[in-house]
Amino acid sequence: MKDFINLLYRNHSLGYKLLLFLSTTFLIVYLFPKSGKFKYNFERGKPWQSESLQAPFDFAIKKTDAEINSEKQAIKDNATLYFDIDDKVYERVLANYKSEFQNVFPDTLDVATSALFFAHGEQIINRLYSKGILGDDYNFSGDRNIIILNNNIIKERTQFSQLIKQNQLTNIIDNSLLDDTFKAYKTDFVSLFYDVIEPNITFNKLFTDRVIQSELDKVAYTRGSIERETLIISKGEVVEGDKFQILKSLEAEYESQVWTDSNYYWVIGAYTLLVSLALLMLLLFIKKYRPEVFENNTKVTFIFFNIFLMIFITTLVVNYNSKYVYVVPICILPLVLKAFFDARLGLFAHVITVLLLGFIVSNSYEYMFLQIIAGIVTILTVSELYKRANLFISVGQITLIYIVAYFAFFVIHEGSVDTLKWETFGLFILCGLATLFVQPLIYAYEKLFGLVSDVSLLELSDTNTKLLKELSNKAPGTFHHSLNVANLAEAAANEIGANAMLVRVGALYHDIGKMKNPTYFTENQSTGINPHDELSSRESASIIINHVINGIEIARKNNLPDRIIDFIRTHHGTSVVYYFYKKEKEINSDLDVYEFEYPGPKPFSKETAILMMCDSVEAASKSLKEPTSSKIDVFVENIINKQMNDGQFLNANITFKEIQSIKKVLKHKLANIYHLRIEYPE
C-alpha cells in the first residue's frame, strides 16, 4: 500500500493530466447531439460520390421550408374573415332618426313633403344597414370571403367589398340625395345622418386567427413516401430537385428516429472514442514538441479549457439558431494560444477544435474549411499582439477571408449569386468585432492562470516601472549593465528567431537581487573601495551567489511572472564564482568546488541560454584593455565555449548553429560599442 501511495505521489502530475483528459472528453461528448449521424455527404448540384443508394427503411418525403411557408402563406392570404354584427345598432339608429328628424327639418314643411323626406331618409338607412357599416378601415382586399356572425351563429356569407367603410358613407349619402326634391335640404340630411348613423360590423380577430391556426395545423409537412429498398439515387447522378429533397428527408429521418438504450450507448461510446483520439493527439503533440508546456499542468489546463470553451459557446449558439454559428469568434483560440505559447501550438489546437465542432454544426465540411483557413490566416497575420493596430489589421484580414471563402462556397452550391444571403456577411463582420475581445480576454487569463503574454512583457519592459526605478537608484551600475545586456540579448534573439521581447524583459530584471548589497558588485563601486577586501573568499562568494536567491525573493514580492523569474534563476546556471574559488584554493587545496557554484538550474530554453551568454560577455567586456576586433572575437569565443564545455546549455533547446549566430551578433555589437575601426594592412 505504501509503495502504491509513493507511486501515485511520484506520478501525480501525469495522473492530473489523465483526469483532465477524461473530464474534458466527457464534457465535450455531453455537448454533442445524442443521435446517429447520416454517413453520406452530398451537396446540391454535385454528383453522388457514393455507391447507388437504396432506402434502408420506409420514410416520408419532407417538403422544403419554402414549400411549407408558401402553403401557410396561401392559407393566411385566402382564409375566410369573420365579422360580428350588432342588430341592436340598426334599431337604435332608426329610433334616433325618428326623434332627430323633427329637430332638423323646419315646421314650415307641409305634411306630405315631411312624410316624403322622412321615408327617403329611412330608405337610405335601410340600404346602409342591409350591407353593414364597418367600425374601422380594415386593410383587406375586396375579394376576400367573409362570414358575418350574430352571437357566434353564421348570419351571412359575402365578400369584404360588400361592406361599407367609414370613408364611403359620404359618397353613398350624396348619391342618394341627387334628386331635385332633396337638393335644397341636402346639408340638413347629411348632418342628420352623421348624428345618428353608427357602425354595426366589427372584425372578430380572435375567432379568425383561431380558424386560420386550425387550417395551418392541418398543413402536411410531407409529400409522398419512399418504400424500403427503393432506389433513391445512382452513383454519379447529379443531386438536384426531388433527388436532393429525398436525400434530405432520409438524412433527417435517420438522425431523428427513436434510439433504443443499446443504440444510445453505442453512439455515446463512438463519440467518446473520436473525441478522446483528437485530444490524445493534442497531448502527444504537446509532449513531443512542447515538453516545457506538457510539464506545466496549469498550461495544459489552460489549453484544454479554451478548447472546451469554444465548443461550449458554439453548441449554445447552434442550439439557439444554427444560422448564427459564424458569429462565434473561433479565431480567438489560435490568437490566445499564440499570445501565450507559439504559433505552431495555436494552429494545432485550432485544427483539433474545428474537427470536433464538425460533429455539432450542419454542413460540416464548409464550416471546417472556413474555420481552418481563417485559423491559418490568424497565425500568419497576427504578430506583436501588443501593438493595437496589428490586431485590427489582422481581424480585418480574417473577416475578409471568411467573406471570400463563403462567397466561393455559395456560388459552387447554387451556381449563381441571385439568392445570396447578404446578411451572412454581416455575421462575419460581427464575428470580427467579437474577435477584438481577445485583448481583455488575454488580460483576464493572465490573472486567472498566471501566464504572461507579449502585452504584459511590453509593460514590464518600461524602465519607469517601480522595480526598475528602484534598481536604477540603488544600483545604477547594475541598471546600466542590465540595459546593455537587454540590447545584446534582444539582437541575439532576433537573429535566431527566439522571443526577443521575453529575453529583453528577462535581461532587465535578471540582476535585481544586487539591490540588497549593491556595493559588493564592481559595477556599483564608484569610490574605489572594495568591501570584499575585508571578507574571506567564502563570505564574498556567498554574497555574490546569493544575489540570485535575493533576486527571486524580490521578484516574487513584486509579483513578477514565473517566466521572468526563470531568467533570474538561470542566468548563471551552475557556474563557479571562479575569482574567489581560485583565491580560496591557494589557501586550501582540498577545497570543494560546490561551495562556490551557483545553485542553478541551468538554462532550459533558448531565451535563458541567450541571457547567460550575453550577461557573461557584457560583464567581462569591461575588463578588456585596448580592445580590437581580433581581441573581441577571441574573448567572445572563449567565454561561450567555456560555458558549452561546462554543459550549461545541455538543457536548452539551442543548436550549435544558433550559438554560432549568437557569437557573431555579440562580436559585431561589442565592436560597435567600442567604436572599432577596420585594421588596414600596412
- The backbone torsions φ and ψ at residue 94, rounded to the nearest 5 degrees and listed phi first, read -65, -40
Tell me the CA distances in angstroms from 238 to 29, 56, 67, 223, 590, one per residue in order: 35, 21, 22, 22, 90
Nearest of 60, 462, 119 to residue 256 by alpha carbon: 60
- What local confidence, expressed as pLDDT, does residue 440 receive? 86
Strand order in the sheet with 81-85: 153-159, 145-150, 81-85, 201-203
**558, pLDDT greater than 60:** yes
Q: What is the pTM of this model?
A: 0.62
70: number of Cβ within 10 Å: 12
| Domain parsing of the chain, residue ranges | 2-33+262-449, 74-215, 454-673
CA triple 329-330-335, angle to 5 deg: 95
Report the amino acid identity of residue 249: S
**14, pLDDT greater than 80:** yes
Contact yes or no for 350/330 (Cβ under 8 A): yes
H or E stretch including 173?
Answer: helix 169-175
Distance (Å, whole) CA 411 – CA 419: 10
98 vs 610: which has the higher pLDDT = 610
Distance (Å, whole) CA 191 – CA 100: 11
**34, pLDDT greater than 70:** no
Contact yes or no for 129/101 (Cβ under 8 A): no
Q: Is 79 helix (H, G, I), strand (E, B) or coil?
A: coil
**416, pLDDT greater than 60:** yes
Distance (Å, whole) CA 464 – CA 459: 10
Tell me the CA distances in angstroms from 446 to 243, 299, 386, 453, 510, one per residue in order: 54, 11, 14, 7, 21
- For residue 140, what is its C-alpha cell? 383587406
Nearest of 496, 502, 513 to residue 608 by alpha carbon: 502
Distance (Å, whole) CA 618 – CA 673: 11
Q: Rounded to an integer, what is the distance from CA 357 to the centroid of its chain?
A: 13
Q: Which residues contact 358 (CB under 8 A, 6 or more apart)?
A: 364, 365, 367, 368
Q: What is the torsion angle, in degrees rounded to the nearest 10, for the CA atoms of residue 479, residue 485, residue 490 and residue 493? A: -140
Q: What is the mean pLDDT of residues 610-635?
A: 87
- The backbone torsions φ and ψ at residue 587, rounded to the nearest 5 degrees and listed phi first, read -90, -40
Question: Per-residue pLDDT tens for 92-109?
Answer: 888 888 887 877 776 666
Residue 345 pLDDT class (50, 70, 90 cuts)? very high
Contact yes or no for 324/332 (Cβ under 8 A): no
Domain 454-673 has CATH 1.10.3210: yes
Residues in the chain: 682
Pairing relation of β-strands 81-85 and 201-203? antiparallel
- What local confidence, expressed as pLDDT, does residue 154 receive? 84
Q: Rounded to an integer, what is the distance from CA 551 to the centroid of its chain?
A: 40
**Of the candidate ranges 110-119, 409-418, 496-505, 646-655, the one whose mean pLDDT is the lowest:** 409-418
Question: Per-residue pLDDT tens for 473-526?
Answer: 999 999 999 999 999 999 999 999 888 989 999 999 999 999 998 988 888 887
Pairing relation of β-strands 201-203 and 53-54? unpaired
Q: Is 417 helix (H, G, I), strand (E, B) or coil?
A: coil
Query: What is the full DSSP assignment across 281-343?
Result: HHHHHHHHH-HHHHT-HHHHHHHHHHHHHHHHHHHHHHHH-GGGGGGS-TTHHHHHHHHHS-H
H or E stretch including 656?
Answer: helix 656-673
- For residue 220, what is its C-alpha cell? 402536411
- What local confidence, expressed as pLDDT, does residue 678 receive? 47
Q: Rounded to an integer, what is the distance from CA 546 to the centroid of its chain?
A: 47
Question: Per-residue pLDDT tens for 229-248?
Answer: 888 888 777 778 788 888 88
Which residues partner with 153 through β-bridges? 150
Helix, strand, coil percentages for the chain (3-state, nearest 5): 65, 5, 30
Q: What is the torsion angle, in degrees rounded to the nearest 10, for the CA atoms of residue 242, residue 247, residue 248 and residue 250? A: 130
Where are the alpha helices (H) located in 184-259, listed in sequence order? 186-196, 205-217, 241-256
Q: What is the mean pLDDT of residues 615-627?
A: 84
Contact yes or no for 540/532 (Cβ under 8 A): yes
Q: Is 420 helix (H, G, I), strand (E, B) or coil?
A: coil
Question: Per-residue pLDDT tens for 136-159?
Answer: 888 888 888 998 888 888 888 888
Using alpha carbons only, how large is the chain's radius of gyration in Å?
44
393 vs 608: which has the higher pLDDT = 608
**677, pLDDT greater than 50:** no
Q: What is the mean pLDDT of residues 409-436?
A: 80
- What local confidence, expressed as pLDDT, does residue 255 receive? 64
Is the bond preceding residue 601 a cis peptide, omega within 30 degrees? yes
Which residues partner with 238 through β-bridges? 47
- What local confidence, expressed as pLDDT, does residue 165 receive? 86
Q: What is the mean pLDDT of residues 179-207?
A: 81
Nearest of 427, 290, 400 to residue 347 by alpha carbon: 290
257 vs 590: which has the higher pLDDT = 590
Which residues partner with 149 through β-bridges? 84, 154
Question: Per-residue pLDDT tens for 316-330?
Answer: 998 888 788 889 999
Across 483-494, b (16+ Cβ under 10 Å) vs e yields: bbbbbbbbbbbe
Contact yes or no for 86/132 (Cβ under 8 A): no
